[in-house]
Amino acid sequence: MAQLTSFMQVSVDGCYADATGDMSFAHRDDDESRAFMTENAMGGGMLVFGRVTYEQMAQYWPTALAAENAPAAAASINAMPKVVFSRTLKQTTWQNSRVVKGELVREIRKLKAESKVGIAILGSGSVVAALARENLIDRYQLMIVPVVLGDGKRFLEGVETRPRLTLEKSRTFRNGNVFVTYRGG
């Protein structure tokens, strides 16, 4: 069975976006962070998105700017198969992408059972929360950004269970970000 990993950038107070949906707080670009993100993107596998995150990613990664700024990451991300869960999106334009309109939990269980490669959810807060409620996420990767938003869209909003998480690794960056990986269970 394929492992399902969630990667999310969050503020210290647990928000992945501010109250207006803006996520620019997470863009703390420096050489160390870019190198890490590139390395993390080179893992291969399949990517899963909700519609909003998919549309944001599809506006950047297939562009010449992405190829110039992060050539290895852009090539890897563009080549990976991508699944976007949406009830409203009619079609995809990003290579190797497809829309799934079926019930999220059932479809993820099916993907995990059938996939021979790891599956990663990038962002997509509502998708992650829905899957966490069903204990379907095997690993949580969090990039904690040293900013307090005060109000916003909370990571794992509505999750009432208390899954037991085990720290696998952590790393502190010079820009103040802290990356942690927790094993779900």
Q: What is the pLDDT of residues 40-77, one digit of tens each?
A: 777 779 999 999 999 999 999 999 999 998 898 899 99
- Domain 4-183: give its CATH superfamily: Dihydrofolate Reductase, subunit A (3.40.430.10)
Q: What is the pLDDT of residues 124-147, one digit of tens each?
A: 989 999 999 999 999 999 999 999
pLDDT category of residue 37 using cuts at 50, 70 and 90: confident
This prediction's pTM? 0.91
What value does the mean pLDDT take over residues 90-113? 93
pLDDT for res 163: 78
Per-residue pLDDT for 185 more than 70?
no
pLDDT for res 27: 78
Tokens linked to 124: 């997509």
User: Residues 6 or more apart from 120 whose CB is under 8 A from it?
Assistant: 4, 5, 6, 7, 43, 45, 46, 47, 48
pLDDT category of residue 161 using cuts at 50, 70 and 90: confident
3-class DSSP state of 55: helix
CA-to-CA dists, residue 107 to 5, 111, 174, angstroms: 16, 6, 39
What DSSP line would sit under 71-89, residue for residue?
A: HHHHHHHHHS-EEEE-SS-
| Ranges of H-type helices in the chain | 31-41, 51-60, 64-69, 71-79, 104-114, 125-133
Query: So where are the chain's domains?
Result: 4-183
CA count, 13 A, side-chain hemisphere, 105: 8
